[in-house]
Structure 1
């Protein structure tokens, strides 16, 4: 910190103050800064000599401070009394609204922490206070709404000392979080006769592996409960009888998340009347889900023993269903699926090994369907039921990833008149896209990636007419079979006046791009062209590139063989605003005069192009506002800040970064 900061007596904003040692800025520099307001973090408090030194900070008189962080650089139990004295003397003004204490090394907290006279504190965070055996009486803070306790490794029991003396503690607390409490074993109620947390809406417990017994039984306003890594918690209902509260009151619970551990007892909370969202992750001892009423969102993840849903099926109120890494789970039969008339979102990932065919059209309101890493899936089919086609009218997103045995779609194409996104990725056996894809007139996004056996994409009418984003990567067989210009013309790219973004790359895409540029088959309306991993491409055809007069962004990534860019073509790209060239080790220079004609160019990024020795001698366009150079040793040396031989040629650019260091 700058020395003699204490002389700035009218200073109002100081977000961070680092306490120095004897030859630096001591904490006494804060004494006269009585007008500080807003937020202040005081760090490296381990450099404070003793409590008398801390008292000089005069925090009590800083009445306009609303947020205060007190942090030590390390916790040291050998100096516990000194550290406690320092924190005691750092007592802030009672107008404080948020307090954070980090890496405090004392074994107990000073009396002011938790005093009810701090009646404006709304947020309290205690982090890394390892050596404290108990918490201060935070239940006495009348305005406290959020409490976060983290990494108190010596705390074993949470009991009456937390609640304090009032008849009803934590009158305003809405969010309570305990995280990484390695030795915490027991949570004892206050015994006040009423709920200990009458307004608590969200309770989060994470990585408290020794916590046993039960959670507080009376949480009348709790809406969200998240329990992760607390494997020994008992069944809530089993312990309710021995609790001071005679009834388990979680009747407002809407969102339940259980992760990591064998907490099957918590599943009794599924009977709460308002529960609408359930997430179960990393369960090793559950085979069948219990009956669940009124549920709207269900996510199951990494439950290797789970094999079945409830006998009566899932609740008809369900709108979102995600199944992840549940390979033994038997997917619901058609008659049960048909009851999910409200389902809007369905995602199946690495699950349901028995599923070989997925019945499209069974969910009348489904808008998003994602199926990924289902190795045995062979087909998407239409069920032969009345209304099946009509049921697909809501579907607007269909993503199929990592299904190596998928080979076919419904005959005649997808009857999805409102589909806007279609994405196929890593489907090894897929040879063609759905028939009549041109009839999907609302489709805006089409991605085909890592489809090594894809032979055709638009044989019978071209691509969808309103396509805006088209991604084609690693479709090597498509290259081999589309050897004539006529095949590419059948795609109908020229007619796609709405197409703004084209990403082309990977195996087989070199010849595709060369043909599209050579024959000027790309629409002139294209705004963004991304070329990626074309290993044999040596140059871009100037004729086709100059044709793209509306192009605003050009990305060239990982093209190992490209040696030069067509200067005559580039100078026609007067709408180009961004030029991004990265990992092109064979590229030796940028066109000398072409860049001068790019009158709209604002951003130029060059990275991983070690063969480029210098930027164009004629200079860069005056419109350029940002230049980035990285991993280009010759350019870095030549244009180094002030010392490079050509620094003067770029020094006028408003923002320059070299190897991620901001120069200007």
Structure 2
């Protein structure tokens, strides 16, 4: 038995025996003496439980373990017995005075009560005698009495121990993440589950043990339980098992575990309706039942048989309603229905669940709402013990279901609610809604920390009534988070300004609201979000007046303003008007003192707002640049005391995103010099931007620079002749779809200037370069010497003829793209070669001593992935023998591939042996090869194909000149997928037929034996190839070489499917893979 659990159950039994319920039971059924004796026995046993468990664990004496097992069963039976008592008491209390059914009257008649009391008396007596015997047996062990000491930890059950290993290696971040999740969970919630999943042997149990035994976790949780997850199949579950979870297919064949108290079925697939009968028939002692994510469409009325149930999770299922019989589960404390998107109504008698503490129907904030829930049932207000009610749906009473619909005033007595509450207004009666809303008495809910009020109705209806509804919902001043969405009024209630503990405010889709009350004086406010306000013109209609700087949003860290098309300014009064009303010292109030994150999106008319010099993140999209310009130009205040504390504006900014700002022609040079912490700068779609004077020394931290679709941008430096400044930390550079006259490109944007090689040499950390859409560019500067360059992408360059106009004569091998792993070249129709000078010319220019060495420079030493798409004239480029991931060639020349395949070991005059020994066969590590629309490819060299020993996938499409594909049975032993389509001249997939007689050619067959091949598909090829392969069958000579292939499809005709010989038309289940690997 897990240490601590027995002790706490015993303590609960004693508490129950001393309760008013037990006293009622004693009076009704004449059990006063029996229950008193039971209480005394359990009290004496409880005093020695902890020592007994410790002794059993330390000494591992079988006799003590057996004693504990007997005690556990007796204690569990005692708990069941008392649950039966309390259930009957509650059911009697819930009987309506004049509407007692015949069955209920019979049950509580004197004669039946006598019989029931007699039977229960026998149960109590038998249980007490069992416990007396257990107590007597305990005396031989001489257990220590620890009457006041509570157990607070547990040991493991059968499956594993919970003893913590001395050291855990490599999982500290996981351990801390789980611990932080546990520590930060809402302490008011009674149940929390964290899943740690993975294959066996990865250390899931070890990780859980470390967290379970952590001192912080022990201190935070009074009771902890180490439970087990059982493997599929009921025969491995002992009769002593009480807690089980499944994460495989649903299997309820657990005949020996009918005394289960916890059953958790985790995403077991499609729900079997017969499972309800098994659960409700076989596991009637369940306390916890989790049946989430099964797609369940109906909950059986048999659930009423689980009368001990305390925790029921039916979340993320598809039922539309719950049976009213669920309301007989009077012991139920937790009911989870979140994510049940089709659920329309709750049980009409839900008010009978008087022990319910937590009712979760999802929420707007968590995006797991029961969105089709139409109303809350009348009587839900009787659940005065309710602590969690995630959402209350307010609906119209005037309907066919009006007698069943509970109004918002049902909340009036639910003053134990805590955590979050969401009110969704789906309808209301104009005559009574204000009194109903006032009747909710939200001001009395002193434990709520989050309130969401959301209207799901037409905001144009009853405009003036809105202005009365929201003021009626004033919450307690303890509130920390307020969300208002869909409000259709024109005025916002003033009470929001007086919620002094508010840390977060979200206002969304209040489409008629023109301004909101002043929020700057809420001292605790950290996050403010305003979105989808169609009519909002000013955020603050009053201005800041003569209040002190310390009172202006002193704690605000995050501000987000989205989709406010009419928003003009922060204040209705202009800044000059406000300053006329205030003294000189208050002019500093126009700054947010602690703001770290600001987003302004789709607010094109917002030209004036408080400044934001302390930001870390700034996002401006489809807005005005004026607030940014003004912040960048900030100067120290006149007063000497304030100027000493002045920090350079935006000196802490790390991420700056500027998108589609139409009024921005430049950014101030002095402002850019202050961006010493900036790590990422992204500018996109700023059609009027002409100048971006990046400073030489002012941006030492910049790692990513992305500029896209800035058609007028002329230069990126302080001087139009300087080019891009030295950005020593730059790792990623992307310049795409900018005009040809960008001043980093001289002479009308046709080539890079002479300064670019020296500038590039300083970019020692640059890992990625993307160049897109520079359509007039004819070549780019040498990039091969950037030591950290990992990825290079060049695309949509209509005029690009050569990538490098200088060549690299005389330079060492180590300087040619030493780190490049991914290279992509797309849509460069004019591209002819990598170098403007041909290879021979470059070698002629090199010193004689390096001529042989230069042959190796033409290879990428580390390239892993290469894609060349729509570059039909590209016939010459560095070779790529080291590719180990993928090669994609589409509508280009085959010459670079042919030359790479034909590579031989290099020869050096001084150290040829060492070089030869380190030489690897070209493309021997390549895994994926896609070739499409290559019109100049007649064949691939046999010796090159023999080297593809690691190739797993080969796709060849639309190569009309391809005649020969000499696949080799020894060289391609890893090939798994082979697809060939629309190669009209291809006749065979075997070795070259030159020099063979007709009989030799026919005997070698159409395809070699490829031992790993799983998919073979051939479509629209030469009739000779198609005809012979379509005739493949068990009787053909080729069958021994192909019978192992799981899927064979020839011209849409299946020869074999999933390893079965079928010979039938393809049903489209085996499709083509895209040749585009980018």
Task: Give the TM-score of the pair, scaled to structure 1.
Answer: 0.73
Q: Give the equivalent residue in structure 2 for 1:2.
A: 272
How far off is 1:659 after superposition?
Answer: 5.0
Maintained 8 Å contact 2:1048/2:1055: yes
Q: Report how far residue 258 of structure 1 moved.
A: 0.8
1:377 aligned residue: 713
The alignment status of 1:541 with 2:898, answered yes or no, reads yes
1:658 is aligned to 2:1069: yes
* Farther-moved stretch of structure 1 (420-429 vs 561-570): 561-570
Alignment-derived partner of residue 763 in structure 2 = 416
Q: CA deviation at 1:301?
A: 0.5
Tell me if structure 1 keeps the 8 A contact 2:517–2:540.
no
Q: Does residue 118 in structure 1 map to residue 389 in structure 2?
A: no
Match of 1:316 in 2: 651
Distance 1:450 1:346 in 2: 23
CA distance in 2 between counterparts of 1:90 and 1:545 reads: 83
Tell me which of 556, 562, 566 is aligned to 2:930.
556
**Cα offset, 1:422, TM superposition:** 1.4
Name the counterpart of 1:440: 786
- Post-superposition offset of 1:502: 1.6
1:150-189 superposed matches below 5 A: 152=426, 160=438, 164=442, 166=444, 168=446, 170-171=448-449, 173=450, 183=459, 187-188=470-471
Deviates most, 343-352 or 37-46: 37-46
How many residue pairs get matched? 617
Question: Retained in 2: the 8 A contact 1:155–1:183?
Answer: no
Please show how residues 443-522 of structure 1 align to structure 2 within 5 Å.
443-458=789-804, 459-461=806-808, 463-479=816-832, 484-486=838-840, 494-508=858-872, 511-512=874-875, 515=876, 521-522=878-879
> Is 2:314 the counterpart of 1:40?
yes
More deviation, 593-602/419-428: 593-602
C-alpha deviation, 1:447, in angstroms: 1.4
- Equivalent-residue separation in structure 1 for 2:349 and 2:532 (angstroms): 32
- Alignment partner for residue 14 of structure 1, among 268, 287, 291? 291
Secondary structure in structure 1 of the residue aligned to 2:774: coil
What is the CA distance between 1:527 and its match in structure 2?
1.4
Structure 1 residues 191 and 338, CA gap change in structure 2 (3 angstroms): same
CA distance in structure 1 between the aligned counterparts of 2:309 and 2:963, rounded to whole angstroms: 57
Provide the secondary structure at the position in 1 that maps to 2:891: coil
Q: Secondary structure at the match of 2:955?
A: strand
Q: Does 1:368 align with 2:704?
A: yes
Cα distance change, pair 32–534 in 1 and its aligned pair in 2 (3 A):
farther
Q: Cα distance, 1:556 vs. partner?
A: 1.9
Instruction: Report whether the alignment pairs 1:284 with 2:694.
Output: no
Contact 2:375 2:393 in 1 (8 A): no
CA shift, 1:151, in A, is 8.8
Cα distance change, pair 526–557 in 1 and its aligned pair in 2 (3 A): closer
CA spacing shift, 1:466–1:167, aligned 2, 3 Å: closer
Higher helix share: 2
What 5-or-longer segments of structure 2 have no aligned partner?
Answer: 1-270, 284-288, 363-368, 398-404, 461-465, 482-500, 545-549, 573-588, 635-648, 747-751, 809-814, 844-853, 904-920, 991-1005, 1031-1045, 1062-1066, 1073-1078
Question: Kindly tell me: are residues 151 and 420 of structure 1, through their superposed partners in 2, closer, same or farther at Cα, counting changes over 3 Å?
Answer: farther
Equivalent residue, structure 2, for 1:28: 301
Cα pair 1:614 1:638 within 8 Å, conserved: no
Distance 1:92 1:644 in 2: 64
Following the alignment from structure 2 to structure 1, what is the Cα–Cα distance between the partners of residues 568 and 690? Answer: 27
Q: Which has the higher strand share?
A: 1
Contact 1:54 1:90 in 2 (8 A): no
Match of 1:72 among 331, 342, 345: 342
Q: Greater shift after overlay, 290-299 or 8-17?
A: 8-17
SS of equivalent to 1:41? coil
1:136-155 correspondence runs (5 A): 137=411, 140=415, 142-145=417-420, 152=426
Pick 1 or 2: higher relative contact order, CA cutoff 8 A, min separation 6: 1
Give the aligned CA root-mean-square deviation in angstroms.
Answer: 5.3
Say yes or no: does 1:209 pair with 2:511: yes
Per-residue deviation, residues 6-64 of structure 1 (Å, max 9, x unmatched): 222268553245565xxxx5642544567797852364544x5xx8x432486665667
3-state SS of the aligned residue for 1:506?
strand
Whole-Å separation in 1 of the counterparts to 2:768 and 2:358: 50
Structure-2 residue corresponding to 1:79: none
3-state secondary structure, aligned to 1:541: helix
Deviation at 1:350, TM superposition (A): 1.3
Q: Which residue of 2 aligns with 1:99?
A: 361
Cα distance between partner residues in 2 of 1:293 and 1:487 = 57
CA contact (8 A) 1:102 1:127 kept: no
1:430 is aligned to: 777
Q: CA deviation at 1:297?
A: 1.7
| TM-score relative to the length of structure 2 | 0.48
Farther off after superposition, 559-568 or 442-451: 559-568
Distance in 2 between residues matched to 1:113 and 1:608, nearest whole Å? 69
Structure 1 pair 54–541 and aligned structure 2 pair: CA distance change class (3 A):
farther
Larger Rg: 2
Distance 2:524 2:304 in 1: 44
Relative to structure 2, which stretch is displaced further, 613-622 or 554-563? 613-622
Q: CA deviation at 1:464?
A: 3.0
SS of equivalent residue, structure 1 residue 335: helix
- Rounded to whole Å, the distance in 1 between the matches of 2:396 and 2:898 is 65
Q: Distance between the aligned counterparts of 1:130 and 1:203, measured in 2? A: 28
Provide closer, same or farther for how the CA distance between residues 522 and 422 of structure 1 changes in structure 2, counting only shifts above 3 A.
same
CA separation in 1, counterparts of 2:896 and 2:418?
67
Match of 1:80 in 2: none
Q: CA deviation at 1:488?
A: 9.7
Equivalent residue, structure 2, for 1:647: 1057
Q: 3-state DSSP class of the match of 1:440?
A: coil
* C-alpha deviation, 1:570, in angstroms: 3.5
Structure 1 unaligned spans of 5+: 76-82, 242-246
Cross-structure match for 1:224: 527
Instruction: Give the aligned partner of residue 122 of structure 2.
Output: none
Distance 1:96 1:593 in 2: 67
SS at match of 2:670: helix
CA distance in 2, matches of 1:385, 1:451: 24
Instruction: Determine helix, strand or coil for the equivalent of 1:658.
Output: coil
Select between 329-338 and 484-493 the one with higher mean Cα deviation: 484-493
User: What's the offset of the Cα at 1:202?
Assistant: 4.3
Query: Are the structure 2 counterparts of residues 385 and 531 from structure 1 closer, same or farther at C-alpha, using a change threshold of 3 Å?
Result: closer
Cα distance change on mapping 1:620 and 1:182 into 2, 3 Å: farther
Counterpart selection for 2:685 from 350, 370, 387:
350
Equivalent residues in 2 for 1:39-58, closer than 5 Å: 39-41=313-315, 43-46=317-320, 48=321, 53-56=323-326
Q: Give the SS at the match of 2:832.
A: helix
Q: Is the 8 A contact 1:536 1:559 kept in 2?
A: no
CA distance in 1, matches of 2:517, 2:1009: 66
CA distance in 2, matches of 1:143, 1:659: 55
The change in CA–CA distance for 1:231 and 1:111 in structure 2 (over 3 A counts) is: farther
Q: 1:497 Cα deviation (Å)?
A: 1.9
**Residues 205-257 of structure 1 deviation map (CA, whole Å, 9 limit, x = unaligned):** 4434245653794765443333221233474543699xxxxx98853321111
1:505 partner SS: strand
Contact 1:30 1:57 in 2 (8 A): no
Note if contact 1:103-1:130 (Cα within 8 Å) is conserved in structure 2: no
The structural deviation recorded for 1:397 is 1.6
CA distance in 2, matches of 1:55, 1:600: 61
Query: Cα offset for 1:298?
Result: 1.5
Q: Is the 8 A contact 1:151 1:180 kept in 2?
A: yes
Query: 1:560-584 CA deviation, whole Å, 9 max, x = no partner?
Result: 769888484444212234x263875
In structure 2, the residue matched to 1:244 is none
Q: 1:194 to 1:372 in 2, by over 3 A?
A: same
Following TM superposition, by how much is the alpha carbon of 1:601 offset from its aligned partner in structure 2, in angstroms? 4.5
